[in-house]
Amino acid sequence: MAKKFVGERVPRVEDQRLITGRSQYVDDIVRPRMVYAAIVRSIYAHARLKEINVEAARRAPGVIAVFTGEDVREAIGPVPVASQLPDLKIPRHPVLAVEKVRYVGEPVAVVVAEDRYQARDAVDLIEVEYEPLEAVVDPERAIAEGAPILHEEFGTNVAFVWQLSGGDIERAFREAEVVVSQRMVNQRVIPVAMEPRGVVAEYHPGEGQLTVWTSTQIPHLLRTQLAAMLGLAENRVRVIAPEVGGGFGSKLNVYAEEALVGYLAMRLGRPVKWIETRRENFLSTIHGRGQIAEVEAAVKRDGTVLGLRYKIIQDVGAYHQLLTPAIPTLTGLMATGPYKIPNLHVQVIGAFTNKMATDAYRGAGRPEATYMLERMMDRIARELGLDPAEVRMRNFPQPDEFPFPTASGLAYDSGNYPQALRRALELVGYEQLRQEQQVLRQQGRYLGIGISTYVEICAIGPSPALPFGGWESATVRVEPTGKVTVLSGASPHGQGQETSFAQIVADELGVGLSDVRVIHGDTAIVQYGIGTFGSRATAVGGTAVYGAVQKVKEKATRLAAHLLGEENVANVAFEAGQFFVKDRPERRLTFQDVALAAYLAKSLPPGMEPGLEASYFFEPSNFTFPFGAHIAVVEVDPETGDVHFRRYVAVDDCGRVINPMLVDGQVHGGIVQALGQALLEEAVYDENGQLLTGELTDYAIPKATDVPWLETDRTETPSPVNPLGVKGVGEAGTIAATPAIVNAVVDALAPLGIRHLDMPLRPEKIWRAIRGA
Amino acid sequence: MIPAAFEYFRPTSVKEALALLDHYKDEAKLLAGGHSLIPLMKLRLAQPRYVIDLGRVRELEYIRESGDQLLIGAMTRHVAIETSDLLRQRCPLLAETASVIGDAQVRNMGTIGGSLVHADPAADYPAAILALEAEMRVVSSQGERWIRAEDFFVDMLTTSLQPGELLVEIKVPVLPPRTGTAYVKVAQKASGFALCGVAVVLTIDQNGVCQHAAVGITGVAPKAYRARAVEHALRGQKLDASVTAAASAKAAEGIDPLEDLHASAEYRAHLARVWCRRALEQARARV
Amino acid sequence: MTRTTIEVTINGVRYRHEVEPRLLLVHYIRDVVGLTGTHIGCETSLCGACTVLLNGAAVKSCTLFAVQADGAEITTIEGLGEEGRLHPIQEGFWMKHGLQCGYCTPGMILAAYQLLQRYPDPTEAQIRHGIEGNLCRCTGYQHIVEAVRYAAEKLRSQKA
C-alpha cells in the first residue's frame, strides 16, 4: 500500500496543547482538598541521625502532619532495585532515612501543610541533630583500604564486581605489535530535565484505589513497584504519567517520593502534591555516567585492533536506584563498538560513595563505551602515525558480515559502517580540512577535526536480557465510527510517538492522521506496558502498534469479505481505506462501514466476535544496532583555551525513518546533551560530599548561544529485527557526539604533544594543558 | 523556591522611601528590579522582615543629558540603558555593557541602581562605572552626597552606602571626541555572570598618542577595580600592538584574584590580561 | 502578615485578589488565577520557563512578587493564541518541530515574541542571543531557531 504518512515530515499532533499552554503536567493538577508536601533533606553526606525535633513544625500555621523515617519504616517498603548481578550488594534504601544519612539531599522527614508556602516554612522549623561521619566521595578512594564504609553490613564499599570476556585477551596482547593505553574519566553529570519531578496522589477509600500522577517514563513498572512498597493490590493502584517535561532516563526510576506521597494521601485521607525544586532535582534525582577507566588496546602496526581490556570503576552513589548496577554492563556489552575486535575483557567494580545514585542517563552506559573506544581509536591513529578515519575504516566489519557477532556476545543486526563514515567525510570535506589544518598550524592556529563512529544497542530489548519484560504492548481499537484509538504501553514524553504511531496506523488503515488518537501513560486505561527508554518506543512500541493493526486489518478484511459475499478472503483487497473484491472493484465498503458493521453485529461471519480491536505484545528477537559517523570541527583559542565550533556533521543510520523531522529533533537534542558533557557539565562534590554544582547558577547546561549549526544527514539500513525496519534514535546523538567533540579538541592540540584531556573541556583546562605542553 | 514572609511597602517618592528606610533600618531591604534580591530570598539566603519596593518611584527612571554629563536614574532598567539612543551616541560603553547583562528577560527588569548597590563582584556594570569615572548620588533623610566610582565598591557585596542611604542617580561623562570604548566579557557559562569583564575608555590624539586611558575590570577580584598600572603604561604612549600588549600584562597587578569552582585565581588573572589587551584593541579601533 | 490587594489584567481579563506579599507572580498566575501554561523550572531566574509578558516586556515571573505586578497587563501563553487560531510563533514551533517535551515552550515562545518585536528579521545570532535566557534540554535549539525564522517571515508577510 502506498505510504501517505510514514517517511514524511509530518508536524506533530501533540503540539497543539503544548504550544497553547493547555497541556497538563503534574504541577498543573489540582484535586479537591489537596495539600502540599515538602521534604527535609540531609545537609550531611554521611552522618548518624540522632534526634529529629518536629514539634515546632507540627504547631506551625497550616501544618497537617510531619513524618520521619522512624514513623514510616514499617509502612513503606524500600526503594527497589531491579537489576541483578552476581553477588550484588543491595543495601536497604528507606524512603526516609533511618539511623544514618548517606548523601546530601537524602530525605529525612516530610511535612504536609495546607499550601506550598506553609509547607516550605515548616521545613525550616524541623531540627535534625546529626553526628557527622567522614564521607567518601571519590570512588577510587571508596574501594581502597581504610575508607569510611557507607553500609556497615557489607564491610566494604564494593557494590559489585562484574566481568565480561570474549575471545582470548591474553593472546591478543601477546600478539600485539603496539599496546596503547589511556586512563579516562567519564565524569558524573546531571540530567536536568526542564520539568523537575513531581507527584500528586489521591486515595479513593470507596474503591480502595490509590491514584498517583507522577512525572515518569514507566507508569506500569512503577505501579507494580508502588503496590509492593505500599502493600496494595496492583489493581488498586493507578499510575498516570500526565504530560512529562523531559526525562532522559532520570524518570526511568522508582523514587522514594513516589511511594511517600502515595502513603501520605492514604494516611491523611487528602490528595497530596509534592513538586521537586530545582535544587532537589540536582541533589536527589539520579545522576549519570561516573566512570573511571583504564583502557588498553592491543594493536598491529597497520592499525588493526586485536583486543581491548577495560578496568572500570563505576561510581554507584550511596544506594542503588532501579537500574544502577545495570548501566555499566551496557558499557561492557558495547565495548568493541562498530569494529571487528575479537578479543575483549571488561571488569567493572561498582563503588558506593556518599553521593546521589547514578543510573540511566540518555545513552546509559553506551556513551561511556563509545567515548572510551573512540578516544582510543584516535590515540591508536596518533601512536601509529595513521589517519584516524583510516584506522576506523580498517577495523569495520563489512556490510555482508551481518548479523555480526561481537566479542561481547551480541549479534549486530545490520549495518554499513564504511558508508556512513564515507558520507560524513564527504560532507565535511575531510581532505581539504586536513590541508587547511596544516596551513593554519603554520600560522599558530589550532584547528581540530574529531571523528566518532559509533554503534549503539537500542530497541531495548529482548526480555531475557532485562530485569523486567523487554517487550511492548499496543491495543488498536477501532470505534464504531471508524475512528481509531491506540493504547500504547510506551510512555513518550516529548519524543513524538503520538504522531509517529498515528502515521503507522493511518497508513495501514487508510484513514486520516486526525482519525487516530494515541493514548498512553495511564495504567487504568492502557494494558500493561514497559515504557519509554533505551530508544525503544518506536522500534518495540511502534512494532506492537503495527502488529495490533495487522490483526485489526485481518479481522476487518474477513468481515468485509463476508459483507461483500466473497468466500475467499484472499480475494478481498484493502486499498486507500476501502475494501473490495479484486475482480469486482465496483462494489466497495469503506473502512468506516466495516467498523460499524463489526459493532452492529447484525451480520458477522460464523464464530467472529463483535467489535473491532486487537492487542499485540511484541517481543523482539534481538536488540537493534543503530550506527553512524559524526565529525566535529573546532578551533581552539590558544591564548584562552576557548573552543569555537566551525562545523558539526552527523550522519546517522537509525534504520527506516517514520518521521524525518522527529529524527532530526532527536539527533539535535542528543548532540547538544553530549556537547554539554564534552565541554560544560560536571557534577562536582567537595570532599565532604557537598554538591557544589547544585543549581543552574553553577551547573551549565548548553544555552542556544553555545550550540553550532548542526548538519545532519542519514543513511538507511533497515533492521531485520522488526517488520518496520526501524532501529531507534533517541540516544544516538548523545552517544556519538561526546567523543567527536573531544577528539576534535585533542586533535587541534596535537602539535603541542597533547594526547588526552578528560571532560569537561572547559577553557581553563585546555589553557593549562597548552601551557604545560 | 519560596521566600520567607515579609511586610511590603511601596513608596511612590524618594522621600517616602527614605522615611521607611529610616524607620525599619537594617531590617528592611530595598527592592529595585529584584533580580539580585529575589533569587536570594527564594533560596532563603536573604530573609528581610520588611521589603521596600522602589518600583513605583517613577522619579528615579530617566536618562538625560546635562551639560557634558549624562544622568541616569537608579531605577532605570538595563534594557533602557542598552537601547538608549542618547547613551549609544554619547556614552556607548554603558549601553554595550548593559546589552550583555544576564538575558533579555533579566534586562527588562533589572535596574542599574539595584545592580550597583548589590555589588556582586561578577556583575558587569562596575567595570564600566569605574572606567567611566562615574559618580553616584546617594540621598538620606540627612541630605545627599556624591560618591566616586572608585570609592563606591568596598568589598564583595559591600558598597560605601551608609544605613539609611539610597542610591538615586548615576552620573557619567559625555565622552570627548577621539574616544573609543569597549566592554568585553567572558561569562561563567552557567550563571552568565562575568568570570572576567573588561571595560576600556581610550582617548587618542591625531598622532595616535594615548591622552586618556581608563580600565575597569570585574569578575576577577572581590570587587571591581581600576587597572591603574595598565592605564599608566598607556598614557602618553603612541598606541601600537606591542604597547597595548605590554600594558595589558599589568591588568591583574596588585590584586588578589577570586578562586572558585568556575576558574582558578591564576586563570582569572590570565583572562584579565588577555581580555584587557583585546578590549584595548577593540576600543582603539573604535576611536 | 498583612495581605495586599492587587489588580492585574491577564490576557485581557481583570483579576482582583488579596495576596501575601511574598507570593511569586508565577504562583499567582498558576495557583490563584489557575492559568497553568506558565511553567516553573528553577528557582534562580535562569531557565526562563516562567516567562510572561509584563506590560509588553518578557520577564521571568518567578522573579517578581505578584504585588509588583499590581496594575499591570500580563500576557501568558494562553493569551497568545488558541487551537485553530495559532499565533505565527506558535505555528512556527509546530511546523518546524520547535518543541519536544513542551515544558520550556511557553516561555520560549514569549521570549521569541519579544525578540521579533525588536528584530522583525533576525539573524541566527540574534535569535540565539534573544532566547539565551530560556533553557531547553530536548531540542538542541536548532528547530527553535527555524521556528522563530518561520514566524518572522510570516509576521513580515502579514504586515506587508
- Distance spanning both ends of chain C, measured CA to CA: 54
* DSSP state for residue A400 in the 8-state scheme: G
- What's the CATH code of the domain at B110? 3.30.465.10
Question: In the structure grid, which three cell numbers stand for residue B136, read together?
Answer: 553616584
- Cβ separation C103–A670 shorter than 8 A: no
Q: Which residues on chain B are in Cβ contact (under 8 Å) with A692?
A: 261
Residue that is last in its domain, among C79, C110, C140: C79
Q: Which of A17, A27, A662 sits opposite C97 (nearest CB)?
A: A662
Task: Answer yes or no: do B135 and B91 share one domain.
Answer: yes
With CA atoms as reference, the chain C residue closest to A244 would be C101
Judge contact between B77 and B111, C-beta under 8 A. Answer: yes
Who's near C111: CB < 8 A, 6+ residues apart?
Answer: B104, B105, C48, C51, C58, C130, C131, C133, C134
pLDDT band at C159; cut points 50, 70, 90: confident
Tally of domains within chain B: 3
pLDDT of the residue at A2: 58
pLDDT of the residue at B197: 98
Give yes or no for residue A1 having a pLDDT over 70. no
* DSSP state for residue A490 in the 8-state scheme: S
Judge contact between A369 and A377, C-beta under 8 A. Answer: no
Task: Answer yes or no: do B126 and B200 share one domain.
Answer: no
Give yes or no for residue A3 having a pLDDT over 80. no
Tell me the backbone φ, ψ of residue A146, rounded to 5 degrees.
Answer: 80, 5
Tell me, yes or no, whether B1 lies in a domain.
Answer: no
Give yes or no for residue A530 having a pLDDT over 90. yes
Tell me, yes or no, whether B132 lies in a domain.
Answer: yes
Tell me, yes or no, whether B2 lies in a domain.
Answer: no
Residue that is last in its domain, among C79, C104, C122: C79
- Cβ separation A696–C23 shorter than 8 A: no
State the nearest Cα–Cα gap between C129 and chain A, in angstroms.
6
Helix axes A417-428, A430-442, angle to 10 degrees: 50
Task: Answer yes or no: do B79 and B144 share one domain.
Answer: yes
Q: Which tens digit of pLDDT belongs to each residue from C40-58?
A: 999 999 999 999 999 999 9
The neighbour count for residue A438, using CB atoms within 10 Å, is 10
Residue that is last in its domain, among C79, C103, C137: C79
Helix/strand/coil for A161: strand
Who's near A725: CB < 8 A, 6+ residues apart?
Answer: A655, A656, A718, A719
The average pLDDT across C15-42 equals 98
Task: Answer yes or no: do C100 and C151 share one domain.
Answer: yes
Helix/strand/coil for A592: helix
- Cα dihedral angle (A530, A533, A534, A537), rounded to 10 degrees? 70
Task: Answer yes or no: do C140 and C119 share one domain.
Answer: yes
Task: Answer yes or no: do C74 and C123 share one domain.
Answer: no
Task: Answer yes or no: do B196 and B242 share one domain.
Answer: yes
Task: Answer yes or no: do C65 and C103 share one domain.
Answer: no
- What's the CATH code of the domain at C105? 1.10.150.120
- Distance spanning both ends of chain A, measured CA to CA: 63
Tell me, yes or no, whether B226 lies in a domain.
Answer: yes
Give yes or no for residue C24 having a pLDDT over 70. yes
Question: Does the CB of A692 have a partner CB in chain B at under 8 Å?
Answer: yes
Who's near B148: CB < 8 A, 6+ residues apart?
Answer: B133, B135, B136
- Domains of chain A, residue spans: 31-133+192-284, 413-458+624-773, 462-618
Percentage of chain A beyond pLDDT 70 is 100
pLDDT of the residue at A147: 98
Give yes or no for residue A418 having a pLDDT over 90. yes
Judge contact between A459 and A721, C-beta under 8 A. Answer: yes
Q: Which tens digit of pLDDT belongs to each residue from A254-303?
A: 999 999 999 999 999 999 999 999 999 999 999 999 999 999 999 999 99
For residue B227, the enclosing domain spans: 179-286
CATH T-level assignment (fold) for domain A31-133+192-284? Aldehyde Oxidoreductase; domain 3 (3.90.1170)
How far apart are the C-alpha atoms of A534 and A729, rounded to whole Å?
Answer: 9
pLDDT of the residue at A207: 94
Candidate CATH numbers 2.70.70.10, 3.30.365.10, 3.30.450.40, 3.20.20.150; the one for domain A413-458+624-773: 3.30.365.10
Task: Answer yes or no: do C92 and C68 share one domain.
Answer: no
CA distances from A263 to A114, A149, A219, A276, A638 (A): 17, 31, 17, 17, 57
Residue that is last in its domain, among B173, B203, B225: B173
Of the residues C60, C128, C131, C135, the best mutation for testing chain B's interface (the one with the most B CB atoms within 10 Å of its CB) is: C60
Judge contact between A374 and A336, C-beta under 8 A. Answer: no
Question: In the structure grid, which three cell numbers stand for residue A712, read together?
Answer: 545532519
Q: Which tens digit of pLDDT belongs to each residue from A514-529?
A: 999 999 999 999 999 9
Can you list the alpha helix ranges (DSSP code H) found in B100-163? Answer: 104-109, 112-118, 125-131, 149-152
Task: Give the closest residue to C112 by CA, choosing from C94, C95, C97, C92.
Answer: C92
Mean pLDDT score of chain A: 97
Give yes or no for residue A552 having a pLDDT over 70. yes
* DSSP state for residue B27 in the 8-state scheme: G
Residue that is last in its domain, among B121, B154, B173: B173
- For chains B and C, CB pairs below 8 A equal 92
State the nearest Cα–Cα gap between A99 and chain B, in angstroms.
28
- Cβ separation C76–A703 shorter than 8 A: no
How far apart are the C-alpha atoms of B42 and A460, rounded to whole Å?
Answer: 42
Provide the whole-model pTM: 0.97
Q: Which of B43, B189, B270 sits opposite A680 (nearest CB)?
A: B189
pLDDT band at A577; cut points 50, 70, 90: very high
Q: Which residues on chain A are in Cβ contact (under 8 Å) with B263?
A: 764
Give yes or no for residue A766 having a pLDDT over 90. yes
Task: Answer yes or no: do B164 and B111 share one domain.
Answer: yes
Q: Which tens digit of pLDDT belongs to each residue from B173-232?
A: 999 999 999 999 999 999 999 999 999 999 999 999 999 999 999 999 999 999 999 999
Q: Which of B261, B263, B271 sits opposite A698 (nearest CB)?
A: B261
Task: Answer yes or no: do C67 and C134 share one domain.
Answer: no
Who's near A76: CB < 8 A, 6+ residues apart?
Answer: A94, A95, A229, A230, A259, A260, A263
The neighbour count for residue A773, using CB atoms within 10 Å, is 10
- What's the CATH code of the domain at C15? 3.10.20.30
Class of domain A462-618: alpha beta
Tally of domains within chain C: 2
Residues 102-121 of C with CB under 8 A from B: 111, 114-115
Give yes or no for residue B169 having a pLDDT over 90. yes
Task: Give the closest residue to A652 by CA, choosing from A642, A641, A660.
Answer: A660
Quote the ipTM score.
0.98
Task: Answer yes or no: do B197 and B256 share one domain.
Answer: yes
Residue A270 Cα to chain centre, angstroms: 34
Task: Answer yes or no: do B146 and B241 share one domain.
Answer: no
The average pLDDT across A678-691 equals 98
With CA atoms as reference, the chain C residue closest to B38 would be C63
* DSSP state for residue A191 in the 8-state scheme: -
Residue that is last in its domain, among B154, B173, B192: B173
- Cβ separation B38–C65 shorter than 8 A: yes
Task: Answer yes or no: do B167 and B116 share one domain.
Answer: yes
- Cβ separation B8–C65 shorter than 8 A: yes
With CA atoms as reference, the chain B residue closest to C67 would be B8
- Cβ separation B1–A120 shorter than 8 A: yes
Beta strand A63-68 with A158-166 is: unpaired
Q: How many separate helices (H) and strands (E) can be counted in chain B?
A: 12, 14
pLDDT of the residue at A461: 83
How far apart are the C-alpha atoms of B262 and B267, rounded to whole Å?
Answer: 10
* DSSP state for residue C138 in the 8-state scheme: S
How far apart are the C-alpha atoms of B222 and B156, rounded to whole Å?
Answer: 5
How far apart are the C-alpha atoms of B204 and B197, rounded to whole Å?
Answer: 22
Task: Answer yes or no: do C105 and C65 share one domain.
Answer: no
CA distances from B260 to B66, B204, B274 (A): 42, 38, 20
For residue C151, the enclosing domain spans: 88-159
- The answer to whether A31-133+192-284 and A462-618 have equal CATH topology is no
pLDDT band at C1; cut points 50, 70, 90: low
Give A109's Cβ-side CA count (13 Å radius): 26
Q: Which of B190, B263, B264 sits opposite A698 (nearest CB)?
A: B190
- Cβ separation A15–C102 shorter than 8 A: yes
Task: Answer yes or no: do B266 and B215 share one domain.
Answer: yes
Strand partners, A110: A39, A67
CA distances from B134 to B63, B75, B84, B137, B161 (A): 14, 16, 18, 10, 15
Q: Which of C38, C102, C142 sits opposite A494 (nearest CB)?
A: C102
